[in-house]
């Protein structure tokens, strides 16, 4: 179901014993927003070459690793090594 507070509260009120399951679309959308926010935060804390390095790789950082071509995979590996925080993100899902 949708992750809206109003949906969650309605289900808890009407069906209190039913477990709530969020759909993949909304989970992935939330993860992409959080990854992008972290990338922006990291980018704003850097200067010079580090800032430019992150700035030009936004869409690469959002790609599925398995779907990345060999040329881009090397660039993505470098990006992820330079920004270990992208590996270590914790999401507020329960």
- What are the angstrom distances between the C-alpha of 29 and each of 9, 22, 23? 21, 12, 10
- For the chain, count helices (H), then strands (E): 5, 0
Nearest-angstrom CA–CA distance, 70 and 45: 30
**Rounded average pLDDT over 3-9:** 90
Do the beta carbons of residue 24 and residue 79 sit within 8 Å? no
Average pLDDT, the chain: 78
Whether the pLDDT of residue 7 is over 80: the answer is yes
What's the rounded mean pLDDT across residues 8-31? 90
Cβ of 44: how many Cβ atoms within 10 Å? Answer: 10
**Residue 94's pLDDT band (cuts 50, 70, 90):** very low
Total Cβ atoms within 10 A of residue 90: 6
Return d(Cα 15, Cα 79) in angstroms, integer: 45
Asked if residues 76 and 63 have their Cβ atoms less than 8 Å apart, the reply is yes
Does residue 29 register a pLDDT over 50? yes
What's the confidence (pLDDT) of residue 88?
65
């Amino acid at each position: 179901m949708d992750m809206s507070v109003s949906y969650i509260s309605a289900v808890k009120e009407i069906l209190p014993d039913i477990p709530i399951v969020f759909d993949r679309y909304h989970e992935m959308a939330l993860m992409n927003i959080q990854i992008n926010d972290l990338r922006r935060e990291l980018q704003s804390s850097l200067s010079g070459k580090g800032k430019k390095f992150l700035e030009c790789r936004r869409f690469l950082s959002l790609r599925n690793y398995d779907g990345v071509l060999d040329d881009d995979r090397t660039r993505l590996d470098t990006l992820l090594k330079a920004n270990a925080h992208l590996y270590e993100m914790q999401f507020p899902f329960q």
